[in-house]
Structures are given as C-alpha cells and as structure tokens.
Chain A
Amino acid sequence: NAGVTQTPKFRILKIGQSMTLQCAQDMNHNYMYWYRQDPGMGLKLIYYSVGAGITDKGEVPNGYNVSRSTTEDFPLRLELAAPSQTSVYFCASSYNSQGDGTEAFFGQGTRLTVV
C-alpha cells in the first residue's frame, strides 16, 4: 500500500494563478481531510469529506474548493492564488465506523509558495 499520496511536492504560483493539489489514498478510507500548516504553527482544517459525493467546510475554507467523486481521490482546488495561501498542505485520510475517531494518515505534504 502506498498510503496517502500527494502531488506535487513543491509548487510556486504567481498571484492570481490557479492550481489543483492532488490527493489519493489506497486504504479504502471513507474520511478524507485537507489541512494547511503555516510555518511554526499547527494544522488548520480546510475541507473534509465523510464519503464520496459529500464534502464540508473546515475552519479555513475561503479561497479553496474540493470535490470527492471517488473514495480514493480528494483534490483541492486553489482559485486566484494569494500570498496568504503560501503554506504546506497536508491531505489525510481515516477509516471511521460506528462514529468514533481513528488514526488519520497523512500524505507527505505539498509546499506551496505564492509570489
């Protein structure tokens, strides 16, 4: 199993450009998440999904969009990139049954710089 795979690992965007961060998991996890981590800070939730076709906003969703058309993939779309979106982005997934939390597995991260 590859676990959670994110692409690309690094990206530099110009202000106003758009891009999609890819995330795929092969563990048949139903829950998937996108977090951003600013330098020296904790992780903040952008969006999450509890299953294919279902997405919901987290703490910092502005400027981002997501979709979940399959169990495996959860891409994050940045429209009109701004310097404030310079961060490290982590995708994570977990398997949740009976409602209780379980271990979230993280991808290796995408380091995004907006100039």
Chain B
Amino acid sequence: GENVEQHPSTLSVQEGDSAVIKCTYSDSASNYFPWYKQELGKRPQLIIDIRSNVGEKKDQRIAVTLNKTAKHFSLHITETQPEDSAVYFCAASMSNAGNMLTFGGGTRLMVKP
C-alpha cells in the first residue's frame, strides 16, 4: 500500500518567516495530495490540495508544489502568523483505491510572536 513520510515532525519559526514542510510518497499511482491543518482538540480541515496533473498551486500565503518524478510534495507558508500554529498533515490518495487518504505523521508548527 501507499506510504507517506513527512518532515520535519516539529518546526518553530518566528512570526513573519516562511515555513516549509515536505512529504514523500511511495506509490506512483497516487494522484491527489491534500494538506490538512489540525488545531488542538479539533478536526482536520483542508487548507490546500493539488492533483497530479499540476506542479504548483497557490492560495494567498499558502502554496503547494508537487514533483511526480521524485514523488515528493511540499507545503510553503509565507509571512507566518501566530494563528498558523497547529499540526499540519500531508496525505496522498489514488483513484483506483477508493480515494482513501494515507496520511503522513504530521508536523507541529509553532509560530513565535
């Protein structure tokens, strides 16, 4: 089955700095790559996603890049704010496997004011 690795497990940045979280996946058939943000005690919520036919996608301060050849994708957050502090999960899914999401282990992002 699919395996998703996520790094780093914790990331501390100063407010206003950029944060980058990286994920790798194992199955080249994966074709959908969402990123979820989970605040303490809350449910995961989608912040951005990318499909395998696109190399990059941006939404305000958040961007995701995908390298299909290397089988890795990254989340970039610019101008970080204290409210960006949360756990971020990457995931991968493939349409021939029920579109079930395989999650990475998560990155705890702390933005220091």
Contacts and interface: CB of A to CB of B under 8 A. Distances in A.
B57 to A, nearest CB: 14
B93 interface: yes
A100 B31 CA distance: 8
Nearest to A3: B43
Q: Which of A45, A100, A107 has the most C-beta atoms of chain B within 10 angstroms of its own C-beta?
A: A100
B96 A99 contact: yes
B99 A43 contact: no
B89 A42 contact: yes
Contacts of A7: none
B105 A104 contact: no
Interface residues of A, number: 27
Contact of B95 (A45, A59, A100, A107): A100
Nearest to A44: B103
B1 A31 contact: no
Contacts of A44: 103
B68 to A, nearest CB: 15
Contacts of A101: 31-32, 34, 51, 93-95, 99, 101
B46 interface: yes
B65 interface: no
A109 to B, nearest CB: 6
Contact of A41 (B34, B51, B105): B105
B45 interface: yes
Interface of B: 1, 6, 31-32, 34, 42-46, 49, 51, 89, 93-96, 98-106
The 3 closest A-B pairs by CB, nearest first: A101-B32, A99-B95, A42-B103
19 contacts: A31-B98, A31-B99, A40-B106, A42-B103, A42-B106, A43-B44, A44-B103, A45-B100, A48-B100, A56-B98, A90-B44, A96-B95, A99-B95, A99-B96, A101-B32, A101-B34, A101-B101, A103-B49, A106-B44
